[in-house]
Each structure stands twice: as structure tokens, then as C-alpha cells.
Chain A
Amino acid sequence: MTGDRVNRQIKLKWLVAGLSAAVFAWASVNAAQRGSENTTPAADAAAVTPQLFRLTEAQYRASIADIFGADIRVAGRFEPDLRVDGLLAVGGSTISVTRGGFEQYEAIARTIADQVTDPAHRGTLVGCGPSAVDPDGRACAKTFFERVGLRLYRRPLGPSEIALAMKNWDDARQQLGGDFYVATSAALSGLLSGMEFIFRIENTTADPARPGARTLDAWSRASRISYLLWNSTPDEELLAAAKSGALMTDAGLAAQVDRLMASPRFINGARAFFDDYLRFDDLNTVSKDGTIYPRYRAAVTGDAREQTLRTIVDLLIVKRGDFRDLLTTRQVAMNGMLSPLYKIPVDQKGWAMHEFGPNEPRAGILTQIAFLAGHSHPGRSSATLRGKAIREILMCDPIPAPPANVNFTVVQDVNNPKLLTARARVQAHLDDEECASCHKRMDPMGLALENYDGAGQYRTSENGVPIDATGELDGVKFDGAVQLGQALRNNPKVSACLVETALRYSFGRRLTAMDDGMLARLKTQFSTDGYHVPDLIRAIVLSPTYYAVTPAVKRPRRLAQLAAGAKG
């Protein structure tokens, strides 16, 4: 690299960083101001909700792919998402961006902008350049920022935002030698680093159906339903529906919701929900001792996650099955990476549906590797972790953290010659009354899964002793995982929990007492309509309540914090 080129690269880096930080700070304050402007009576200003949701990594990547194409590489590390109230989706509305995280976003934005404007992509993605009638390409740049800004911010850029983008473009062009594409890349990088892209920001408007009340505006509705149903940014048709005002009507909203749900991309949205619901991001930290579980190879964890998601999509979306059957289904997606753990043959290395026989000990997602291995230790199973997961995830029944001074020695010693099975070890642990109060809620269900070791492989004995997998849940006795799955399937708490989780996920926030009415209606509808998840989601997104502005939140203060963070 020549000296000039090095200097130019350094200058570009600092220029873009400066632009991005300025845009970030500006966008934060701008959004805060617009949020305040949207609140009708001044006295209600602090009580109006519009929320901020930081895009998850998956949403960020999907958005870039949808806007610029799947061949645009998103390279860089994202700040970790935060699970709140059991969901990353809820955490997304409470999480901020650190200064280090912002620098990461800025670096990612720069690589994206460079690709968009490189010779291989500029013709398609920028679409214009300097010409006889537009010698410096300024008009082209403005058109580009207006077009791409709509997709990035999921609403039209305001005059001040266009002006800022053009100022950035002018500055970059002046400082970087007048190259059109370098300047366009720098200004695009600023847009991509903007808070209005990294965060989904909801704004409100007067509710035409409820005089005096407020509701989400059409652009915010478009983003909300797109990220819920597709886990990605609104497409042009949805944005057009927002622009036309169709999304503010029941019919227009329903038409778009049905279109999105009929698209194959609805599977992406469903996968994102169930990935969050089942807390599969926790699988990222799962590792197993290869000497104990030689069949558990490095790629197993990722494939196990994929297996359960594919199984869910096949049952609930493709076949429109009963949600409760997830706990009993014998149909499972299978590939050659996982089949040795299940000790079954597969014809292909890729994915195919497999059905376990009626006498085989696999039925429902609780008997799949993702759940069993994910809620185990590296070298042993864990009745407690599995039982806790069932309570918290499937039954919305949180278990308090154990006391800090709890002694796990008895449970962890799998070589204790007197306590040969997990049941025996757990029972010894339960002699401590303080522990027993929680363990009695978790362990009976977890012990029903003891026929599967820490890698999820079936076994009939532990240390030569036959495994006792009997238990009871709300008066229903079971023996083993298959019967436990049946008991859970028929337990109304499980389907009710799914509805509650789906609503929290859809809102991206904790539920409050004000949501009780909607929640009750949805639970009833879910059961009477046959426990179809797509119908549940549709009912949520077509409910006016879903867009109604609720009291709470101190958005201006949070925005101010974000802006301050960006300034560093």
C-alpha cells in the first residue's frame, strides 16, 4: 500500500467514525425530540410509551441481506443480547449500546458500506453516479440516501436527516479527494451506524379509531409486524402500505399481515420466536467432554438447535399442527451429525424428517438433543437443570436462584458408590429443607428424563442400576420422558405459558396488568381454535391493542443516555 493510500485509509477511518458518532448522537436526540412531539397533551408526554428495540444480531444480518443482498458480508462482533423476563426480545427493549459496542457497529457499518459501493455492487445497489448532468454525482447521492434511508430507518428520512447525510457526503468528498464512491461509502456508513438503524424506534400518532387516544404510526407498525413475522426489516410493499396509510386501517393491516404470514419468510419469524422461547442462545456455551461422549462432536450443538427448530417449523408452520404436540411428536428432523446420538440410521448427511416408532423412547422436543444436552453438564446429566427449564420455559414458573452457600458436592459426585443414580443423589441433596422447597418443583420432571445422559443418549441404567423415571405433575403420574411429555401436553399451564410468552415476545416488553384482558382473550382463543401458533400470532398482530400506546417508559432519558454514550 502506498503512503498516500495509507494516509487516505486512516483519514477515511477517522472521518467515518466521526460522522457515525455525530449521526448516532444526532439521531438519538432527534428521535427523543420526535417522541416528545408525538405525545398529545403535554401532561402525558412522559407517560407515552413508544419503545426502542435494539436489533438482535440475527435481525441486523437479515436486514442487511434484505436491503443490500445476501452477498454483502456482515463481518464483526456484535454486543451480546440480553435476556430479560425469559426473552431476548424483552431484553432488546431495555438494552443499550456501550461505547465499545458502538465502535463495533461502526466497524461493521464501514465494511458494509464499502461493499455496497465497490465496483461489483455499485451498479446495482447505488444505481447512479457522476454524469454529464450531475458532474459531481451530488443529485445521485441524494437520491441514493433517500432510497436506502427509507429501507434502513424503516421510514422516510426527514429533511434534516437528508441534509446531514449530504453534509457528511460533502465533507467526505472534500477530505478524501473527491471520489464519489468513497464519499458515498462514508456517508452510508454514517447512516448504518445511526441509532435509527441499530434500534427499532417506535413513534405514535393519533388513533383514528379512538379519538383522544394514540397508537403506533404506520411506519412503526410496519417495522413491528415485519420483525415479528419475518425477523427482518419491512420490504418495499410493506413500506408502501405504511406510506399509503393502509396499515392504519383494519383491512389494510390484515392484508399485509396475511401476505407476510403466507410468505416462506414467515418461517424465519417463527424460528426466531421459538429460538428465543426455548432460550437456545444458551446453547452457544454448551460443550461436552469428548472422552465421556465421543458421539457428541463439535458440530452437534448447532445441529441439535437446528433439529428442534426444524421439527417445530415442520409441525407448527408447515403442517399447521397443534402446539401441544411438540411435546409428544415422534416426527423429528434428523441428519448424519445427530443420528449416532439417537442410534438410528439416516440415508443422507443433510436433513430429512424421521419418525420414531411407537415403542421407541423418543417423543417430543424434551427428548431431543438440544433440550437434553443443553440442560446438562459437560460430563453428566442434570435432573435439576432439566426440571428447572421445564418449569421456567414451558410453564412460566420461575425458580429462584439457589442460596449462595449451597453445597452441591453430593449431587455432583457421580462416582459415589452409595449414590449410584441421579435420583439417589438428588434425594440426598433434598435432605436439606432449604433446597427441597425448590427442588421438589424441578426434580420430579427432571428425573423423568434420566433415561438420557448428558449428551442426550438413551440409557436404561446408571452405574449398573436401573433408572427410575417415575414422577408426578399436578396429580398426573408418569414414568419416563414419553409419559412426561404427554402429561405436559395436557397441562393447561403449558399452553397458557406459550400464549403469555408469545405476547411478551410480540410486544418486546414485560406484560403488565393492562395486558390481562388481551392475554385472557388470546388464551381462550388459542385453545378453542386448536392451539395453532400461526393463528395466535395473527390474533396478536391484528388486535388494535397491539398498537395501542400504553403508559410507562422514560424514553427521552434513555435516548439521552444513548446519545451521551455515543459521544463518549
Chain B
Amino acid sequence: MNTLATTVSASAAAIALAGATLSLQNRPSETRSFVIASIYMPSVEVDSKSCPTESKNALQVFLDTLSPEERVKYADPARGRELGALMSRTLGFKRSVGDTPISSDNIEDLRRAAGIPPGKGAIVSYPTRHLAYDTCTNPDDFPTQASGNQEYLGKVAYGMNLDGKVGKRDFVGVDGEPGVDNAWYRAVGCGRIARSTGVPRVADNVLVSQASPTLIEVTGIDDDRNDSDVDVNVYASADALELSATGGALADASYHPDPRPMLTSHVKGRITNGVLTTDTFDITLHFHESIIDARPVMRRARIRATINADGSIEGGIYGYHTLASLEDEYAQASTIGANLMSCPGQVKALRANADGFPDPRTHRNTAISSMYRFKGVAAYVVHKPAQVATQ
């Protein structure tokens, strides 16, 4: 009896083990599953040509708007807290207080109580769920802050040729692939985040979305090196990331998928020389940390990733990131974003570089070519309950 045999997708490690010593019952093909420990917009190592300056953060942009005397007074980074308070007062930032859960019934009351203009503000700081109004939640309301963003001017970027064309603004991939579409990176690639923690040698080791890591499940594998027809499911996990003894992602842990349909995606794929590539599909990811609960949406996305012999996986999700979900993610960063970026400047750049899914009415592009790089370890995706302990 193996109570989970038909309902659980096994890890690569387990399958490798099975190949040597086990016979899996009633399973004509194999399943490999992974928990994604690290997922981020990857950055190449930039230089003075590709990024002549670093994009300014909110405080730096605000400092530029002050009088010369005030600029001198607040130029000292040690006075950043004072400068932030001045920015908040000057620009009229607002934030709801208290622990009242926000719902459609009371949101206007909360706006009124906090002095937030009707219809404005956004829910931030999960799980306390404050209602905030600032340059990240409402960038359009603060046009004076929409400057200081430096676009990436380099020729090389991570990504994929999404449209099959090689255009003048396309990049060359880090592996030499021509026609790489990654306008997201062009827009924000010179920001502090991309330049510092976005390079894979750093970011590959940073755990992301620990509260709800992404799960990738590949089923119907007949040959783990070459299989022209596999099914790929992508889930948000209902369980937090399990950590190993050394603080990394724990291999071979079990996870349940989040039951919400919007956080589940299915797509056909194939494995060629150990590289998994999917057809295109729309996917909603789930980035859930202590105060972030973002749902990035990628249209016409595809996965291309290498399945390693040790059961791990690394690769990317390539597609068109919707501006709406990106801006929502920025909004949630309002409590931490001031020192890292200037939301109005970045949003302006995103909209200017958007290159996909034009709105039929306005003809403005609503999505931007993008890539998330990811690394993960072997895991089990558990779909149904097991036998309950008798004790």
C-alpha cells in the first residue's frame, strides 16, 4: 500500500532512486516536481556604458526638487529619515492606522479617516493590510517624482526571443541568442535592485516568496532526457518553503498547491537534452513574503529550464509581464521602496517600454517583455490527503 502513490508527484531524486532499486507501481510514466526557492529579474554585470548612472531612488528624486539650501542640508545620507519625513509631509503621503481589516465595505471610511483622496491608495504591508497613499501606490498623482530613472543601454540581457523577430531594440542573450525581448530589463535594469542583488551569482542564493513558493510539476515523463510530450503544472504553494539544515531550500519536502484556480497553470511541454521547454501560456505567480502579497501576471509565457541530475532545476519564465500587476507589485513595496527606487520614474519607464498586448481601445501596450530567472530543488507536490495517524 502506498497511500500517496497515485496522487503525489515524486521528486527527481526519488525517481533516480526508483530507477536503481524500486519499481513504481501503476505509474507508466514519471513525474518530477520542484519547489522554486529563488525567482527574480536577472541582471547582467553592468558597466558605465550600459548604465551611465544608477537610477535614483525616491529620496534622491525628492531631494532634487528642494531648494539649494535644503539640498545641502539633507544631502547627508544620515539625514535620510528626516528627508523621508519631509517628503511625506510635502507630498501629502497618507496611511491608514489600526488593525481594521480592509474590505469593500469600509475602504472608503478608511480612506476618509486617513485623509486619502476618494478612490485612491492601495492595500500594502501584508498581513497588517494598511491602506497607503504615496508615490508607489499612486505614481500618477506625483508627476514631479517621475524622473531620475536610468534605462539600461547595454546590448546583452537575459531573456528569450519572444516574438521570433530580431529588432533594433532587442538584446543579445547571455548565451548569444539574437532578438531577445526583455524591455522590462531595459526599463529598470539600472536600478539599485537590479544592479546589486539581481545578478545571478547573488540572487540565486536569495530565497524568494518563502511564504508561498512556486511549484513546478512535470508529469508524463517517459524519458527524462528527451520527451516530446510532457505536461507541466505550475502552482503557488499553500505551504511555506521548507529550509534545510544550512538555511537553503530543503530538497524532497512535500507541498500542497494553493487551491485557488488563478494560481494554477497548465501547459504542454517537451524535454530536449534535459532542457524543459513549454508552449506559451498565461500564468499568475505568487510572491508572498512577510509584507508582500503580489500576483505577477505573465501573458504568453513559456518556461525554459534545465533539469539537473541532482533533481534541481534552473531556468526562466519568459513572457509579457502585465503592467497592471507590475505596478501593483510596486505599490506593495511602498513601505520599503523609498530607499530602493522611485516608483513614478520606474512606472513611467515601464509604460514607455511596454511592447505587448496593446489595449484595443487606447492602442497602448499593456504588457512588457520580461524574464524571471529561477532555481529550485526537488520536491513533492501532494494533491490529496493521506491516511490519518491512528495515534
Q: List A residues at the B interface (Cβ < 8 Å).
A: 267, 288, 290-291, 293-298, 310, 313-314, 318, 333, 336, 339-340, 343-357, 359-361, 458, 460
Contact = CB atoms under 8 A, between A and B. Distances in A.
Given A333-B391, A347-B4, A359 B251 contact: no
Interface in B139-164: none
Interface stretch (B5-13, B64-72, B340-348): B5-13
A345 B382 contact: yes
Nearest to A336: B254
Contact of B252 (A290, A343, A350): A343
B78 interface: no
Given A340-B252, A359-B23, A352 B242 contact: no
Contact of A294 (B10, B244, B382): B244
Nearest to A330: B1
Nearest to A290: B245
Contacts of B248: 294
B390 A314 contact: yes
A340 B23 contact: no
B389 interface: yes
Contacts of B20: 460
A508 B125 CA distance: 60
Contacts of A360: 21-22
29 contacts: A290-B245, A294-B251, A295-B252, A296-B245, A297-B243, A297-B244, A318-B390, A336-B254, A339-B253, A340-B242, A340-B253, A343-B13, A345-B9, A345-B10, A346-B4, A347-B4, A347-B384, A351-B389, A351-B391, A352-B386, A352-B388, A353-B387, A353-B389, A354-B386, A354-B387, A357-B2, A359-B23, A361-B22, A460-B21
Nearest to A347: B386
A346 B391 contact: no
B245 A339 contact: no
A345 B25 CA distance: 15
A348 B386 contact: yes
Contact of A361 (B21, B239, B386): B21
Given A290-B244, A339-B253, A357-B5, 10 more contacts: A288-B245, A290-B246, A294-B245, A314-B391, A343-B252, A345-B4, A345-B254, A345-B380, A359-B22, A359-B23
Given A297-B244, A350-B389, A354-B3, A339 B250 contact: no
Interface of B: 1-5, 8-11, 13-14, 17, 20-23, 25, 239, 242-246, 248, 250-254, 256, 380, 382, 384-391
A351 B3 CA distance: 14
Going nearest first, the 9 A-B pairs with the smallest beta carbon separation are A290-B245, A345-B380, A347-B386, A294-B244, A345-B8, A340-B252, A351-B389, A352-B389, A355-B1
A505 to B, nearest CB: 22
Contact of A347 (B9, B17, B242, B254): B254
Nearest to B250: A340
Contacts of A339: 252-254, 380
Contacts of A348: 385-386, 388
Contacts of B10: 345
Given A290-B246, A296-B245, A350-B389, A336 B253 contact: yes
A290 B22 CA distance: 28
Contacts of B253: 336, 339-340
A350 B387 CA distance: 11
Contacts of B250: 294-295, 297, 340
Nearest to B253: A340
B243 to A, nearest CB: 8
A345 B243 CA distance: 16
B15 to A, nearest CB: 10
Contacts of A294: 244-246, 248, 250-251
Contact of A291 (B246, B251, B254, B380): B246
Contacts of A361: 21-22
A360 B384 CA distance: 22
Contacts of B244: 290, 294-295, 297
A372 to B, nearest CB: 16
Nearest to A309: B391
Contacts of A297: 243-245, 250
Nearest to B4: A345
A512 to B, nearest CB: 37
A318 B388 CA distance: 15
A354 B4 CA distance: 9
Nearest to B385: A347
Contacts of B25: 357
A298 B256 CA distance: 23
Contacts of A291: 246
Given A347-B386, A458-B17, A298 B391 contact: no
A352 B14 CA distance: 20
Given A297-B250, A351-B389, A343 B245 contact: no
A298 B245 contact: yes
B248 to A, nearest CB: 7
B245 A293 contact: yes
A451 to B, nearest CB: 9
B382 A352 contact: no
Given A314-B390, A460-B20, A343 B14 contact: yes
A312 to B, nearest CB: 11
Interface centre among A346, A351, A355 (most CB of B within 10 A): A346
Nearest to A351: B389
B251 A295 contact: yes
A366 B14 CA distance: 21
A346 B382 contact: yes
B32 to A, nearest CB: 13
Contacts of B387: 352-354
Contacts of B243: 297
A286 to B, nearest CB: 13
Nearest to B9: A345
B52 to A, nearest CB: 42
A125 to B, nearest CB: 30
Nearest to A297: B245
A170 B237 CA distance: 64
A13 B20 CA distance: 66
Nearest to B243: A297
Contact of B3 (A318, A343, A350, A355): A355
B390 A346 contact: no
B139 to A, nearest CB: 41
Nearest to A352: B389
Nearest to B8: A345
Contact of B391 (A310, A336, A344): A310
Contacts of A353: 387, 389-390
A330 B17 CA distance: 18
Contacts of A355: 1-3
A290 B248 CA distance: 11
Nearest to B391: A310
Nearest to A342: B252
A346 B21 CA distance: 21
Contacts of A333: 389, 391
A373 to B, nearest CB: 13
A310 B14 CA distance: 25
A350 B390 CA distance: 12
B149 to A, nearest CB: 41
A182 to B, nearest CB: 42
A16 to B, nearest CB: 40
B22 A357 contact: yes
Nearest to A335: B389
B17 A343 contact: yes
A359 B21 CA distance: 7
A290 B247 CA distance: 9
Contacts of A295: 244-245, 250-252
Contacts of B8: 345
B61 to A, nearest CB: 44
A343 B382 CA distance: 13
Contacts of B384: 347
